[in-house]
Amino acid sequence: MTTHRIHHAAIVVKDVDASLRFWRDGLGFELLMDETFEGDWKTLFDIDATKVRSVMVGDPSRSGSGIVEFVQFVGADVPAGFELLSLFVGDVDEALTKLGDDAKELRRIEVQSPQGPVPMVTVRDPDGVLVEIIGPPQRP
């Protein structure tokens, strides 16, 4: 059985409150998370910001139902719209080896978490879609 799964689709938004009215109040998704994270977003996304606000909505009673994330890069002027598909894999390096030369515009960082550093990579698929590949925390 594969450990790969799509986790969420991310949308860069102009107004989180307007997005919540549409997705939560209008379509019935529930708020799952509203956090601001610091990281090397310039390296990973080529966006000149060190903080990103991440707001996720979905169905907490169905863990495999998918999540929509609203993204705001704090202090950066980023056009609104679809940003990326994010997926979890069991081993980032193994996934990159299998992708080989198909992994275009490879960018890599690690984000600290209580469980250890989390490897994060972005690549472009053959049609130019940005794909974020996230591995499990690496225990120290």
Q: What is the pLDDT of residues 86-124, one digit of tens each?
A: 998 889 998 888 888 888 888 999 999 999 999 999 998
Is the sign of the CA dihedral 125, 68, 109, 47 positive or negative? Answer: positive
Q: CA 120, CA 12: separation in Å to the nearest integer?
A: 18
pLDDT tens digit string along 41-75? 999 999 999 999 999 999 888 777 789 999 999 99
Helix/strand/coil for 121: strand
| pLDDT of amino acid 3 | 67
- Domains recognised in the chain with CATH numbers: 5-134 (3.10.180.10)
The 8-class DSSP code of residue 101 comes to G
| pLDDT of amino acid 60 | 86
The structure's pTM equals: 0.76
